Chains A and B, each alone.
Chain A
Amino acid sequence: LHKIAAVASLTARLQDNKNALGILFLLPTAVLLLVFLTYPLGLGTWLGFTDAKIGRAGEFIGLGNFEFLWNDSVTRLALFNTIFYTTVASVIKFGLGLWLALILNQHLPFKGFLRAIVLLPFIVPTALSAIAFWWIYDSQFSIISWTLQRMGLIHQYIDFLGDPWNARFSTIAANIWRGVPFVAITLLAGLQTISPSYYEAASLDGATPLQQFRYVTLPLLTPIIAVVMTFSVLFTFTDFQLIYVLTRGGPLNATHLMATLSYQRAIPGGSLGEGAAIATAMVPFLLAAILISYFGLQRRAWQQGGKD
Chain B
Amino acid sequence: VSEIKRRKFLKTSAGLAAGAAAGPMIWVKDANAQQWKNTPEKGAKLRVLRWSRYVQGDIDQYMKNVAAFTQKYGIEVRVDNEGWEDVRPKAAVAANTGAGPDIILSTNDDANLYPDKLVDVTDLCTYLGSKLGGFYPVCDPYLRPDGKKWIGVPLGVAGVCMVYRQSHMKAAGFDTFPKDTDGFLKLCKALKEKGTPPAFALGNATGDANTWCQWLVWAFGGKLVDTSNKVVIDSAETLKALEYVKDLYGTFAPGTLSWLDPNNNKAFLDSQISLTNNGISIYYAAKNSQDPKVKEMSADIYHANMPVGPVGKPTEFQLFFNQMIFKYSKYPKAAKEFLRFMMEPEQMDPWVQAGIGYVTPALRHYEKNPIWTVDPKHTPYRDSMKNMLPSGYAGKMGYASAGALADFIVVNMVAEAASGSKSPKEAAQRAQKRAERYYKV
Whether the Cβ atoms of A140 and B399 lie closer than 8 Å is no
How far does the alpha carbon of A264 sit from the alpha carbon of B267 in the complex, in Å?
27
Q: B258 touches which one: A56, A141, A247 (CB < 8 A)?
A: A247
* B413-441 CB contacts (< 8 Å) to partner A: 415-416, 419, 421, 430, 433-434, 437
- The reply on A207 being an interface residue by CB < 8 A is no
Contacts of A164 in B (CB 8 A): 421
Contacts of B266 in A (CB 8 A): 138, 140-141
Whether the Cβ atoms of B257 and A162 lie closer than 8 Å is yes
Whether the Cβ atoms of A55 and B95 lie closer than 8 Å is yes
Whether the Cβ atoms of A56 and B257 lie closer than 8 Å is no
Whether the Cβ atoms of A250 and B114 lie closer than 8 Å is no
> Can you name the residue of chain A whose Cβ is closest to the Cβ of B270?
A140
Contacts of A115 in B (CB 8 A): none
How far does the alpha carbon of A159 sit from the alpha carbon of B253 in the complex, in Å?
11
Contacts of A264 in B (CB 8 A): 406-407
Whether the Cβ atoms of A167 and B258 lie closer than 8 Å is yes
Whether the Cβ atoms of A250 and B203 lie closer than 8 Å is yes
Contacts of B205 in A (CB 8 A): 248
- The reply on A267 being an interface residue by CB < 8 A is yes
Whether the Cβ atoms of B415 and A54 lie closer than 8 Å is no
The stretch of A1-9, A196-204, A268-276 that contacts the partner chain: A268-276
Whether the Cβ atoms of B406 and A157 lie closer than 8 Å is no
- The reply on A59 being an interface residue by CB < 8 A is no
The stretch of B4-12, B86-94, B293-301 that contacts the partner chain: B86-94
The stretch of A67-75, A92-100, A209-217 that contacts the partner chain: A67-75
Known: A57-B96, A73-B430, A250-B204. A265 touches B263 (CB 8 A): no
- The reply on A253 being an interface residue by CB < 8 A is yes
Whether the Cβ atoms of A270 and B406 lie closer than 8 Å is yes
Contacts of B203 in A (CB 8 A): 161-162, 247-248, 250-251
Whether the Cβ atoms of A53 and B113 lie closer than 8 Å is yes
B305 CB → nearest A CB, Å = 26
Whether the Cβ atoms of B85 and A140 lie closer than 8 Å is no
- The reply on A288 being an interface residue by CB < 8 A is no
Contacts of B312 in A (CB 8 A): none
Whether the Cβ atoms of A251 and B430 lie closer than 8 Å is no
- The reply on B256 being an interface residue by CB < 8 A is yes
B89 CB → nearest A CB, Å = 5
- The reply on A139 being an interface residue by CB < 8 A is yes
Whether the Cβ atoms of A252 and B113 lie closer than 8 Å is no
How far does the alpha carbon of A156 sit from the alpha carbon of B253 in the complex, in Å?
11
How far does the alpha carbon of A97 sit from the alpha carbon of B277 in the complex, in Å?
45
Residues of B in contact with A, size category: 35 or more
How far does the alpha carbon of A264 sit from the alpha carbon of B204 in the complex, in Å?
11
How far does the alpha carbon of A162 sit from the alpha carbon of B259 in the complex, in Å?
8
- The reply on A249 being an interface residue by CB < 8 A is yes
- The reply on A160 being an interface residue by CB < 8 A is yes
Whether the Cβ atoms of B407 and A252 lie closer than 8 Å is no
Whether the Cβ atoms of A55 and B117 lie closer than 8 Å is yes
Whether the Cβ atoms of A55 and B114 lie closer than 8 Å is yes
* A110-164 CB contacts (< 8 Å) to partner B: 137-141, 156-157, 159-164
- As a 0/1 sequence over residues 36 to 55 of chain A, the CB contacts with chain B under 8 angstroms (1 = contact) are 00000000000000000111
Whether the Cβ atoms of B406 and A139 lie closer than 8 Å is no
Contacts of A55 in B (CB 8 A): 91-93, 95-96, 113-114, 117
* B63-94 CB contacts (< 8 Å) to partner A: 85, 88-89, 91-93
B351 CB → nearest A CB, Å = 27
Q: A141 touches which one: B114, B254, B270 (CB < 8 A)?
A: B270
* B30-89 CB contacts (< 8 Å) to partner A: 85, 88-89
> Can you name the residue of chain A whose Cβ is closest to the Cβ of B433?
A73
Contacts of B267 in A (CB 8 A): 140
Whether the Cβ atoms of A251 and B434 lie closer than 8 Å is no
B347 CB → nearest A CB, Å = 30
- The reply on B403 being an interface residue by CB < 8 A is yes
- As a 0/1 sequence over residues 228 to 250 of chain A, the CB contacts with chain B under 8 angstroms (1 = contact) are 00000000000000000001111
Q: Which of B203, B416, B437 has the most CB of A within 10 A?
A: B203
How far does the alpha carbon of A158 sit from the alpha carbon of B56 in the complex, in Å?
36
Whether the Cβ atoms of A139 and B258 lie closer than 8 Å is yes
Whether the Cβ atoms of B415 and A251 lie closer than 8 Å is yes
Contacts of A140 in B (CB 8 A): 253, 255, 263, 266-267, 270, 272
Whether the Cβ atoms of A271 and B403 lie closer than 8 Å is yes
How far does the alpha carbon of A72 sit from the alpha carbon of B256 in the complex, in Å?
26
Whether the Cβ atoms of B258 and A251 lie closer than 8 Å is yes
How far does the alpha carbon of A167 sit from the alpha carbon of B257 in the complex, in Å?
10
How far does the alpha carbon of A170 sit from the alpha carbon of B253 in the complex, in Å?
20
- As a 0/1 sequence over residues 157 to 191 of chain A, the CB contacts with chain B under 8 angstroms (1 = contact) are 10111111001000000000000000000000000
Whether the Cβ atoms of A162 and B93 lie closer than 8 Å is no
A87 CB → nearest B CB, Å = 23
A254 CB → nearest B CB, Å = 9
How far does the alpha carbon of A82 sit from the alpha carbon of B63 in the complex, in Å?
45
- The reply on B410 being an interface residue by CB < 8 A is no
Please give 18 more A-B residue pairs, beta carbons under 8 A apart, in addition to A53-B399, A140-B270, A157-B254.
A53-B113, A54-B89, A55-B96, A55-B113, A56-B113, A74-B407, A137-B258, A140-B266, A140-B272, A141-B266, A159-B255, A159-B257, A161-B203, A162-B254, A248-B203, A252-B421, A264-B407, A270-B92
Which 9 residue pairs spanning A and B have beta carbons closest together?
A: A139-B255, A161-B258, A55-B92, A54-B92, A251-B257, A269-B406, A162-B258, A248-B204, A250-B203
Footprint of A on B, CB under 8 Å? 85, 88-89, 91-93, 95-96, 113-114, 117, 202-206, 253-260, 263, 266-267, 270, 272, 399, 402-403, 406-407, 412, 415-416, 419, 421, 430, 433-434, 437
